[in-house]
Structure 1
Amino acid sequence: MPGQFGTFIPIWNWHPALVGLFVFGIDFGAIMAIRKFIERKAYLSRWWSFKIGDTVGLPVFAGFAAAVISDEEYSGFYTQAWWHVLVMLVGYSLAIFFQVKSLTTGFFTWADVFRPSELYHTIIFGVMFYLMVSVLLPVVVDHEPTRVTALAFVGLAIYVGAWWADNTSLVDKTSDRVLEARRRS
């Protein structure tokens, strides 16, 4: 089937707008729903990669990537099951690494790690990493780069730029519980 290239989550033959909405829904949409309906506290975090990257960047990248690859047959190493398993393992390894780093630096407590929205974020991080990385190479090697390809990379650049901003002094790295304590005092 064109556009699937061995992926475990076969969304790439869907209509591009549906792919973008799916990515938005399982990431930003689900996290905000958990915050509102389970945690009973709807809040938008200070992280630009969440506010802009997950709402605009990744859905745009995924939607336009679906348009780019939908009519191609692929045969590179990125179509092999071992590659997809590796990408998924790297995604979950990164998710665990970030949680351990947050715990060891004191940014998170165990209560933070097990907060429903954070727990879901850790789980969905591996899936989102897999979806974005597994489609990246097929988009890069597409035989007919077009404006649609360029727009896919604009979406990816939005996410990367937001992630970069999160890792600069533009974003306060003070733990949420410290900020809450300051607000209360």
Structure 2
Amino acid sequence: MLEHTVGIQFSEAGKSLLKGPGQRALWRCLPMRAAPALALVIFMVMPAPCGAKVPVATACRAEADKYCKEALKAKEKGAELVLQCLEEMSPVLVEPCRRFVQAMVACRTESKRFCKGRVSDEGWACLLRRRGQLSGPCRAAIEPPPPEDPLDIGPCGADYDRFCWKVRPGDGRQWRCLREHWDELEDECRAYVEGK
């Protein structure tokens, strides 16, 4: 099963979402706290909206749908147009998408050379597989940034990803965020937070 392949543990509800005909549409539920690192490993692509011809990375699917509709429908050079559009919209993109776009821009040459210029999770995974052949700036762009505030969240990964992924690290803000969502936390996470 996929969860063993990439080392992700899904809740029972998450496992049920991964089964059946719509399973590929559910990748947005994956933790984005680890983006871009996790997005690099996962190379499933969210289904394109009706009429779209270009698959886009999970981290940027909503933004591409919102800001780049015409580029998504392009038959020729669609991926390049989508990346250009997302790059122009960078100031208003959510953080995981902004990081993805910055990395894809830094890796534009390598992406075209090794990965057919794809702006999907598959293109990201392709770059990771070619890590040793990438230029220094590209390799630096696809490496996950070092944590500013190391946080051992133990069994709270899913809850952190659901509620606190936008919280800026430092000064205990992550723990406060988890505590603010106390009633919504999984039992194991609640016990872990209580012990901190």
**TM-score when scaled to structure 1?**
0.22
Q: Per chain length, whose mean CA-contact separation is higher, i.e. which structure has more relative contact order (CA < 8 Å, sep 6+)?
A: 1
**TM-score when scaled to structure 2?**
0.22
